[in-house]
Amino acid sequence: MTKPVVGVIANVHLVENRFPAQMVGERNLRAVAEVAGALPLMFAGRPDVTDIDALLDAVDGILLTGARANVHPTRFGIAADPRHEPYDRDRDALALALVETCVARGVPLFGLCRGFQEMNVAFGGTLHPEIRELPGRMNHRMPRLANGEIHPDQTVIFADRHDVALTRGGAFAKLLGCETIRVNSLHGQGVDRPGSRVVVEGVAEDGTIEAIRIADAPGFALGVQWHAEYDPQRNPVNKKLFQAFGEALVAKKRAA
């Protein structure tokens, strides 16, 4: 049997401040290829370029990646604020519709960071625009130096920073074989009110929602707030997640 194919959503970037481009971080591609055992296929995060039905006819699963841009606040009923820019309305339009279609069609879906947030918003959930501004919350954004610059060492940026308590007997606890894990943290937005079919299965020590599944989904439909694509070749938690995603891809391909 040939390898399953995973559609990996891209994000808009402006190259040399002039040329719009759709790009995917290489770690996402390597996680799919090296751990999930699938062929990664990048697709544009634009509804005027990517036809959802045609895309899902060509792939066996979807990976919703993290991104620099936040989900636009009007997607969950609050006013936009320049402090929370940049936004990517094209990706919002495509990804939110794609989430619903994947779940309806039983296409394996794995959301990371922004992708996790998109899964929640797609089912009517809301987001906090900036987690660190909430009383009692830690700063979930990437580490910075004293002068405000982003830390130059990626091992520091992506280091495990806090614990996540998993729901006893839930999908994540069963998959990972434990009820507490430790994860990295590089995000500003975060889940506020879970969507109608969103089941919370992981919560950080400060109350931030970190792991979700979609209730009654006919296929794999999990999302995590952290960047599981960073080190699944070595990290046992992230490895199990991508391996489980890979198993779901194989099952979907066999059933096709």
DSSP 112: E
Residues 6+ apart with CB under 8 A from 181: 163, 164, 166, 202, 237
CA angle 246, 181, 99 (to 5 degrees): 45
178 labelled catalytic: no
How far is the C-alpha of 158 from the C-alpha of 169, rounded, in Å? Answer: 28
128 labelled catalytic: no
72 labelled catalytic: no
N residues, the chain: 256
Q: Catalytic residue, from 84, 140, 187, 227: name it.
A: 227
**Residue-wise over 229-242: b if at least 16 C-beta within 10 A, else e?**
bbbbeebebbbbbb
For helices 89-105 and 114-122, what crossing angle results, to 10°? 70
Q: Write the single-letter amino acid at 159.
A: A
Q: Catalytic residue, from 72, 84, 113, 118: name it.
A: 113
Q: Which residues have a catalytic role annotated?
A: 113, 227, 229
